C-alpha cells in the first residue's frame, strides 16, 4: 500500500477466494514470427464483470465477503494478480515440437484509488504524482529479480479494450525477456543513438515542439502530443522532454509535470464527447537487464479504440495480418479536437 499520509500498521486483507490458483504458465516459440507466445489456461476462470457489491478491488467492508484490499487510509495498492500470465514459480513446461520455456515473471495489479467511480482524470495531481512513484518503486523491486528483463506498467480502460473490472486500476507485467514491441523500439532507439549521439524520442519531441501542430500539453519538463506518425486517430504520447531511461531516474520536477500532463490528457479524452473515454495506456522504459540504456526514453503511449464518437477502430486485415496500420484520420485533425477541449486541473470533469 502507498499513501501521501502515514499508513497504520497491521492492515491486512484476505483474498476473495481461499482456493489457490494453480498457475504454471509456459512459453512456446513461434518460429515464423521469431517470438514467444505465453500460455496460461488457468486465466479462463478469472473474475469477469462482478456486480458492484462484489467489487474485489474495493476495500473490504464485510468479512464474510472479503476483497483484495483492507480498510485504511491509503491511496494506491499493489498485489499479485491471482490469474497471472507469468509467475516466478513456473516450471516444467510441456514437451512440444517447438522450443518451450517456463513463463517466469510477475504480474501485479495496481489499484489507483479506493474510489470505484474515479478515473485518472479525477485524481488530484499529488495523487498522480504518488502513482508515478509507485510505478518507479515497482520497477525497482521487480527489476531487481534476476530473471526479469523488462517491466511494463499499463492500464486498460473501458469494455471496448477488454476491461472486466471497472474499478480504476492498471497492471504491471515483469517479463523474463524484452517483449517484441519493446525490443523493436529499443532497436530503433539504439541505432539512432549510435549514429546521432542523442535519443530518438528526444529528437522527435524537439521537432514536435518546433512544429507546434499536435501538442496537447507542454511545460518546462513534460509534453503530451499526438505523434506525427500516430497509428490510432486519438493516439497520444506523453513523456519527459529531457530523456530519462525509466521511472526510477525521474526528478521531482519531471514527475510533477508528468502528473499534470497525464491529468490533462485523460481529462481531455473524457471531455471530448462528455463521457468516459476508453484506451490502453502503456509505459515504455529501459530494460532491467543490468545493462546501461542511454538510448531509452521513458514515455507513455495511449491507444484509444474510437475513431469517431460512435465508430471503433478495429484492427483487421492489414493491421493484424500485415502489421501495417491504416489511420482513417490525420493526426493534425484529431490534435485540433483535443486541443479545443478546455480542462481545469484543479476541478475534474464529471463524466
Cβ pair 92, 98 in contact under 8 A: no
Strands of the sheet containing 222-225, edge to edge, are 77-80, 106-111, 169-175, 150-157, 279-284, 299-303, 236-240, 222-225, 215-218
Question: Does residue 298 sit in helix, strand or coil?
Answer: coil
Distance CA 273, CA 292 (A): 43
Which positions ≥6 away from 136 have C-beta within 8 Å? 246, 247, 248, 250
Please, what's the largest Cα pairwise distance for the chain? 62
311: nearest Cα among 236, 226, 233: 233
Which one of the listed residues 169, 293, 297, 299 is annotated catalytic? 169
Question: Does residue 225 sit in helix, strand or coil?
Answer: strand
Annotated catalytic, 169?
A: yes
Whole-number CA gyration radius for the chain: 20
Distance CA 21, CA 46 (A): 10
How many angstroms separate the Cα of 169 from the Cα of each of 131, 157, 339? 11, 8, 27
Instruction: Give the residue numbers marked as catalytic.
Output: 169
Amino acid at each position: 500500500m502507498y499513501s501521501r499520509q502515514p499508513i497504520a500498521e497491521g492492515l491486512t486483507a484476505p483474498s476473495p477466494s481461499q482456493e489457490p490458483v494453480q498457475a504454471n504458465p509456459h512459453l512456446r516459440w513461434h518460429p515464423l514470427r521469431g517470438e514467444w507466445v505465453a500460455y496460461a489456461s488457468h486465466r479462463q476462470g478469472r473474475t469477469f464483470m462482478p456486480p458492484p457489491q462484489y467489487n474485489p478491488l474495493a476495500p473490504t467492508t464485510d468479512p464474510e465477503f472479503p476483497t483484495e484490499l483492507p480498510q485504511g487510509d491509503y491511496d494506491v495498492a499493489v498485489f499479485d494478480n491471482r490469474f497471472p500470465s507469468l509467475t516466478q514459480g513456473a516450471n516444467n513446461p510441456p514437451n512440444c515440437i517447438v522450443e518451450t520455456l517456463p513463463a517466469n515473471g510477475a504480474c501485479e495489479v495496481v489499484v489507483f484509488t479506493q474510489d470505484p467511480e474515479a478515473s485518472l482524470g479525477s485524481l488530484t495531481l499529488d495523487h498522480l504524482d504518488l502513482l508515478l512513484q509507485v510505478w518507479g518503486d515497482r520497477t525497482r523491486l521487480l527489476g531487481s529479480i534476476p530473471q526479469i528483463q523488462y517491466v511494463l506498467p499499463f492500464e486498460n480502460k473501458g469494455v471496448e479494450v477488454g476491461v472486466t473490472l471497472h474499478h480504476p486500476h492498471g497492471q504491471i507485467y515483469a517479463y523474463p525477456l524484452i517483449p517484441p514491441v519493446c525490443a523493436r523500439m529499443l532497436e530503433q532507439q539504439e541505432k539512432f543513438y549510435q549514429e546521432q549521439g542523442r535519443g530518438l524520442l528526444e529528437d522527435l519531441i524537439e521537432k514536435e515542439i518546433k512544429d507546434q501542430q499536435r501538442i496537447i500539453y507542454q511545460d518546462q519538463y513534460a509534453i503530451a502530443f499526438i505523434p506525427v506518425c500516430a497509428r490510432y486517430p486519438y493516439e497520444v504520447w506523453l513523456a519527459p522532454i529531457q530523456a530519462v531511461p525509466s521511472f526510477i531516474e525521474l526528478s521531482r520536477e519531471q514527475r510533477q509535470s508528468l502528473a499534470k500532463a497525464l491529468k490533462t490528457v485523460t481529462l481531455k479524452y473524457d471531455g471530448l464527447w462528455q463521457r468516459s473515454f476508453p484506451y490502453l495506456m502503456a509505459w515504455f522504459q529501459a530494460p532491467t537487464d543490468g545493462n546501461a540504456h542511454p538510448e531509452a526514453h521513458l514515455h507513455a503511449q495511449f491507444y484509444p479504440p474510437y475513431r469517431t464518437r460512435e465508430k471503433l477502430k478495429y484492427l483487421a486485415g492489414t493491421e493484424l495480418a500485415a502489421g501495417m496500420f491504416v489511420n482513417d484520420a490525420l493526426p493534425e485533425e484529431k490534435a485540433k479536437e483535443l486541443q479545443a477541449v478546455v480542462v481545469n486541473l484543479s476541478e475534474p470533469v464529471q463524466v
